Amino acid sequence: MLYAILKMIYRLGLRVFFRRLEVRNRHLIPDQGPLLVVSNHPNTFMDPIVTASLLRQPVFFIAKSTVFGSGFQNWMLRQMHLIPIHRREDNPDQPVSNEEAFTASFRALRQGKTLLIFPEGNSYNQRRLRKVKTGTARIALGAEAAAAATLGVRILPVGLNYSDPTRFRSDVFVNVGEPIQVAAYASAYEQDGQAAAQALTDTIRQRLESLIIHTPTDEEDALARQVEALYKDQLAAAIPIPAPEHIRDFLLTKAIVRGINYFSQTAPEQVAALKHDIHQYTLQLRRLRLHDALLGKGRSTVLGRSAFGLFLLLLGLPLYLYGLLHNYLPYIIPSRVARAATKEEEWYAPIMLTVGIFSFPLFYALEAWLLWEWLQPPFYKLMLYLLSLPLSGFFALGYWNTLLHTQAHWLLLRLFFRRRNVVEELRKQRQCIIVQLEQARQAYMAQQEGE
Residues 16, 126: one domain?
Answer: yes
Instruction: Give the model's pLDDT for residue 378.
Output: 94
Examine residue 425 and state whether it is found in any structural domain, yes or no. no
Which letter does DSSP use for residue 133 in this model?
P
Residues 14, 143: one domain?
Answer: yes
Q: Which of 354, 279, 254, 365 lies closest to 24, judged by CA?
A: 254
> Rounded to whole angstroms, how far apart are CA atoms 319 and 387?
14
Query: How does 154-191 read in b/e, with b if 16+ C-beta sit within 10 Å?
Result: bbbbbbbbbeebbbbeebbbbbbbebbebbebbeebee
Instruction: Give the model's pLDDT for residue 95.
Output: 46
Examine residue 258 and state whether it is found in any structural domain, yes or no. yes
Q: Any alpha helices (H) in 419-450, and if so which ranges?
A: 420-450
Establish how many alpha carbons lie within 13 A of residue 264's alpha carbon, considering only the half-sphere containing its beta carbon.
15
Examine residue 337 and state whether it is found in any structural domain, yes or no. yes
> Rounded to whole angstroms, how far apart are CA atoms 213 and 235?
17
Instruction: Give the model's pLDDT for residue 129.
Output: 95
Examine residue 308 and state whether it is found in any structural domain, yes or no. yes
Residues 206, 224: one domain?
Answer: no
Residues 230, 207: one domain?
Answer: no
Containing domain of residue 105, as a range? 2-211
Written as one letter, the residue type at 355 is V
Residues 260, 111: one domain?
Answer: no
Residues 132, 36: one domain?
Answer: yes
47: CATH: 3.40.1130.10
Give pTM, 2 decimals.
0.88
pLDDT in tens, the chain (451 residues): 677 888 899 999 999 999 999 999 999 999 998 999 999 999 988 999 999 999 999 998 876 655 555 565 566 556 666 776 655 454 555 544 567 778 888 988 999 999 999 999 888 899 999 999 999 999 999 999 999 889 999 999 999 999 998 889 999 999 999 999 999 999 999 999 999 999 999 999 999 999 999 999 999 999 999 999 999 988 888 888 888 999 999 999 999 999 999 999 999 999 999 999 999 999 999 888 888 888 777 777 878 888 888 999 999 999 999 999 999 999 999 999 999 988 888 889 989 999 999 999 999 999 999 999 999 999 999 999 999 999 999 999 999 999 998 888 888 888 877 888 888 899 999 999 999 999 999 998 888 776 6
Residues 244, 353: one domain?
Answer: no
Domain end among 180, 211, 242:
211
Residues 161, 310: one domain?
Answer: no
Instruction: Give the model's pLDDT for residue 109.
Output: 93
Examine residue 426 and state whether it is found in any structural domain, yes or no. no
Assess contact for 154 and 137: CB atoms under 8 A. no
Examine residue 423 and state whether it is found in any structural domain, yes or no. no
Structural domains counted in the chain: 3
Residues 130, 256: one domain?
Answer: no
